[in-house]
C-alpha cells in the first residue's frame, strides 16, 4: 500500500513537473531528484528509478518498449460476461479510455502483459487498471508477444471522466510483483 501511495504522489508531481529538482551527489546510477523531469531517467526520492518518456515518443525499459498510437474516449465498452451475467464497470465509471499501443518485447522469451503491468494515471495521480475482459479487437491483455517482436493492440481503462496524464509501465520481469520493481516507466499520453 505504501508503494501505491508513493506512485500516486509521483503521478501528482508529474502534473506540474518542470525538469530537474534537488539532487544528491556521489550516488551510483541516475541522478536523485525530488521532482520528476518531463523526460529522462532519474532516481526519485522513493528510491525507484523512473524513465520518463514525453508525448509521442517510445518508452524503453530493458525488456519492454511502449508507444501510444492514439487514445479514444468511449461512453460504453462491452466488458463481457461471466456465467451469462454481464460484467459491470467499476462504480463511478462514466467513460472508457481506449488506448492503442505498440508494445515491443525486447526480451529473449515470449511474454504477455500482466493486468497490473500498465496503469493509466491522470494528472492528479489517480490510478486506473485496464479491463482484462473488455470485448475489443486486439485486447493486449490477451495477446502473446513473441521475443523480439512488436504487437499493436488496445487497453481499455474505465474512468470517471476523460483524462490526460501518463501510463505507468512496469517491466515484464516485474509484472508479477510490481511492489518490488526498482525501475518503472512513465509514458505521456494526450486525450
pLDDT at 36: 86
pLDDT at 34: 82
pLDDT at 19: 35
pLDDT at 116: 95
For the chain, 191 residues long, give each residue's pLDDT as a single digit of tens: 344 334 333 343 333 333 333 334 445 678 888 888 889 999 999 899 999 999 999 999 999 999 999 999 999 999 999 999 999 999 999 999 999 999 999 999 999 999 999 999 988 889 999 999 999 999 999 999 999 999 999 999 999 999 899 999 999 999 989 999 999 999 999 86
pLDDT at 139: 97
pTM: predicted TM-score of the whole model, two decimal places: 0.82
Class of domain 2-189: mainly beta
pLDDT at 59: 98
| Domain spans of the chain, in order of start | 2-189
Report residue 141: phi and psi, to 5°.
Answer: -75, -10
Amino acid at each position: 500500500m505504501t508503494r501505491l501511495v508513493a506512485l500516486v504522489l509521483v503521478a501528482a508531481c508529474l502534473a506540474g513537473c518542470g525538469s530537474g529538482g534537488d539532487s544528491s551527489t556521489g550516488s551510483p546510477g541516475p541522478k536523485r531528484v525530488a521532482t520528476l523531469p518531463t523526460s529522462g531517467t532519474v532516481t526519485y526520492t522513493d528510491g525507484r528509478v523512473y524513465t520518463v518518456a514525453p508525448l509521442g515518443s517510445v518508452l524503453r525499459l530493458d525488456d519492454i518498449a511502449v508507444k501510444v498510437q492514439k487514445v479514444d474516449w468511449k461512453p460504453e465498452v462491452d466488458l463481457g460476461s461471466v456465467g451469462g451475467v454481464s460484467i459491470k464497470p467499476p462504480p463511478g465509471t462514466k467513460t472508457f479510455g481506449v488506448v492503442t499501443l505498440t508494445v515491443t518485447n525486447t526480451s529473449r522469451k515470449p511474454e504477455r502483459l500482466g493486468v497490473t503491468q500498465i496503469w493509466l494515471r491522470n494528472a492528479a495521480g489517480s490510478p486506473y487498471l485496464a479491463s482484462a475482459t473488455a470485448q475489443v479487437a486486439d485486447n493486449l491483455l490477451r495477446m502473446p508477444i513473441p521475443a523480439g517482436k512488436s504487437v499493436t493492440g488496445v487497453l481499455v481503462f474505465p474512468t470517471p471522466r476523460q483524462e490526460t496524464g501518463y501510463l505507468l509501465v512496469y517491466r515484464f520481469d516485474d509484472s508479477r510483483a510490481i511492489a518490488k520493481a526498482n525501475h518503472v516507466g512513465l509514458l505521456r499520453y494526450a486525450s
